[in-house]
Amino acid sequence: MADSINKLRVSITKRYGGKTVLDRFPLEIRGGEFVTFLGPSGCGKSTALGIIAGLVPPTEGEIWLDDQRIDDLPPEKRGFGMVFQNYALFPHLTVFDNVAFGLSLQHRPAEEIKERVTTMLGLVRLAGYEDRFPGQLSGGQQQRVAIARALVLHPRLMLFDEPLSNLDAKLRVEMRAEIKQLHSRLKLTSIYVTHDQAEALSLSDRIVVLREGVLMQVGTPQEIHDRPANVFVADFMGFRNFFDVKLGQANGGQIDVSAKSGTYRTRAAEGLTIGQDAVLAIRPDDVKIGGGDGSNKLRGKVELVEYLGREIEAAVMTEGQGRVWLRTPEKIALGDAIDLTLPADKLVLLRKE
């Protein structure tokens, strides 16, 4: 449905005064891809999106859309659609007129406008709301109008700037699924900015993790989730246990590392050599309760229990390794003495920074 693009190539730097917000940020997006910029606030992800949109001028760099250089085109000439965090609907126009805004600027005939707006409102499940004003809609409905308003123009590229941040948790999950559906149904090419890792994982073909304007890692959701490239990405993706270790002998894809409390066995990682300092990380979900076959074991006492519904998250003060977080559906209580196992295939070895 949308005019397709083959490739968007970006290489941009943005400085505000002396502060570098984006440092030679490189990116290549293929047509039909769903790419997410992920990072904490202030990491430059929204600036990067603004530059691609044309709303923020880059300090240096180029943006190429297929064979066309577009970084000197004003936003209104780029043919991209954008959805904003605060919806940015025109409060003085009805839902219909909001969605028809871009089409009427193109001087389309009235019947075509009516047909396309009606179809699009049906697609975002807002048929019958044509005559309402934005102020009379809920947040989720307003954001659906904003999405329809952008999509009705068949944009070459869809840009989403934290579109779900203003919605409550339940609605966020629903809207996430709707965006995903629209993306594949309309064969869109989308760039999505968020600070929410669950959103990034569930929506994306590829995730770009940013920190203070510097690219930390690019990869599929599985890659980012299972094999974070460094401590920052691991921390952001929900690893909560980090141990300082020294690398020992590698043998057959496995490596022994020594920590304060003893020796652990884990998967070998590239680019790390014997004797080097490194960081061993594991998610709370992957920490097992019980002794197992004897290796990678820890003993400790439960000192904090948080009830999460289906499971609990607990902090265990271990002998020699400090506090270890775990998640388990099992019942454990404050003050229990328990054995923990850190499964070798779940441990991730990261470069020390």
Taking the least distance from each CB to other proteins, the nearer of 106 and 249 is 106
Asked if residues 228 and 239 have their Cβ atoms less than 8 Å apart, the reply is yes
Nearest approach, Cβ of residue 147 and other proteins (Å): 12
Nearer to other proteins, 71 or 286 (CB): 71
Least Å from the CB of residue 187 to other proteins: 20
Distances (CA, A) of 66 to 10, 31, 63, 78, 186: 11, 10, 10, 13, 20
| Distance in Å, CB of 201 to other proteins, minimum | 27
Tokens encoding 192: 């999505």
Q: Are 74 and 80 in contact (CB under 8 A)?
A: no
What interhelical angle do 95-105 and 139-151 show, nearest 10? Answer: 20
Looking at the Cβ atoms of 91 and 294, the one nearer to other proteins is 91
By the 8 A CB rule, do 105 and 149 touch? no
| Residue 242 CA, distance from chain mean position | 22
What ranges make up the beta strands (E) of 92-149? none
Angle between helices 110-123 and 139-151 (to 10 degrees): 130
Helices (H), 204-298: 221-226, 231-236
Closer of 49 and 179 to other proteins (Cβ): 49
Give the nearest distance from C-beta 95 to other proteins in angstroms: 10
- Between 163 and 228, whose beta carbon lies closer to other proteins? 163
Nearer to other proteins, 99 or 257 (CB): 99
Q: What is the distance between the terminal CA atoms of the chain, rounded to a whole angstrom? A: 47
Residues that bind other proteins (CB under 8 A): 53-55, 74-76, 80-82, 84, 86-94, 101-102, 105-106, 133-136, 146, 149-150, 153, 159
Distance CA 191, CA 159 (A): 5
Provide, rounded to whole angstroms, the least separation between the CB of residue 77 and other proteins.
Answer: 8
Distance of CA 180 to the CA centre of its chain: 13
Question: Alpha-carbon distance 137 to 128, whole Å?
Answer: 12
Give yes or no for a contact between 192 and 34, defined as CB atoms under 8 angstroms apart.
yes
Amino acid making up residue 22: L
Q: Least distance to other proteins from the beta carbon of 76, Å?
A: 5
Which CB sits closer to other proteins, 142 or 296? 142
Instruction: State the minimum distance, in angstroms, from the CB of residue 171 to other proteins.
Output: 16
CB of 61 to other proteins, least distance (A): 21
DSSP-based three-state secondary structure for 240: coil
| Alpha carbon distance 350, 269 (integer Å) | 8
| Shorter beta-carbon distance to other proteins: residue 151 or 349 | 151
Q: Minimum distance between the CB of residue 163 and other proteins, rounded to whole angstroms?
A: 12
CA distance 278 to 226: 18
Cβ nearer to other proteins, comparing 102 with 221: 102
